[in-house]
Amino acid sequence: MAHQVTRSITVRGDPQRLYELWSQLERFPVFIPGVKSVMRTGGRHTRWTIEGPLGRDLTWEAETTTAEPGRRLAWNTTCGEIRTSGQVVFADLGNGQTSVTVSLNWLAGLADPIAAALQDPDGMVTKALRAFKREAEEGAAAASSLGRAVMAVEEEERAAGQEAARAGGVLEDAAGDEERHGQAAGRESMPRSRG
């Protein structure tokens, strides 16, 4: 018997940027609890590993079946211990807000470890959406803040370089003046040849 859960969350950001972030499936383990790894295995195919019950990892392969940039991603498992399908839809709400909606379908009556891993699919989807929102909003703010910090450091380095160049020019001018004075002084102190 098939079951479905659908959950939405409002995220600050435009649909295209959020779609691109979601499309980086390999990053899911960084911000979604329970996802241990996602590896691209070629083209539209990925291998997923999640923490299963009793310390046993569960693995499956999935295929991205629909990829509409800025709008929708859909998938189906192709093989493995978990059989799911679903989609994520990005809808522009205006004012820099996007509704992100995940629909997850799964088969009931699976073997015990699989059923245990999916015992709370609603909670799993809700946690994943909250984690995605945090990554999208705080990650963007951190990246923006980091970008500003990098630009400030680069500006300081540029200013310091210009200051050093000016100081170097002054030092070179001073050294040149000393050298010219030394040469003139040396000529004055040299005995004149009488011829």
Burial label for 87, CB within 10 Å (0-12, 13-18, 19+), is middle
Which pLDDT tens digit goes with each residue over 29-47?
Answer: 887 878 899 999 999 999 9
Model-level pTM? 0.67
> Cα-Cα-Cα-Cα dihedral of 101, 102, 105, 106, to 10°?
-150
CATH of segment(s) 2-136 = 3.30.530.20
The DSSP secondary-structure symbol of 134 reads H
Domain boundaries defined on the chain: 2-136
- pLDDT tens track for 157-168: 566 666 666 666
Distance set, CA 127 to CA 18, 123, 130, 145, 169 (Å): 17, 6, 5, 26, 60
What pLDDT is recorded for position 17?
A: 96
**pLDDT score of 146:** 37
Q: What are the helix (H) ranges across the chain? A: 15-23, 28-31, 112-117, 121-189
Separation of alpha carbons 85 and 106, rounded Å: 7
Residues 84, 2: Cα–Cα separation, whole Å: 9
Please tell me the predicted confidence (pLDDT) of residue 195.
47
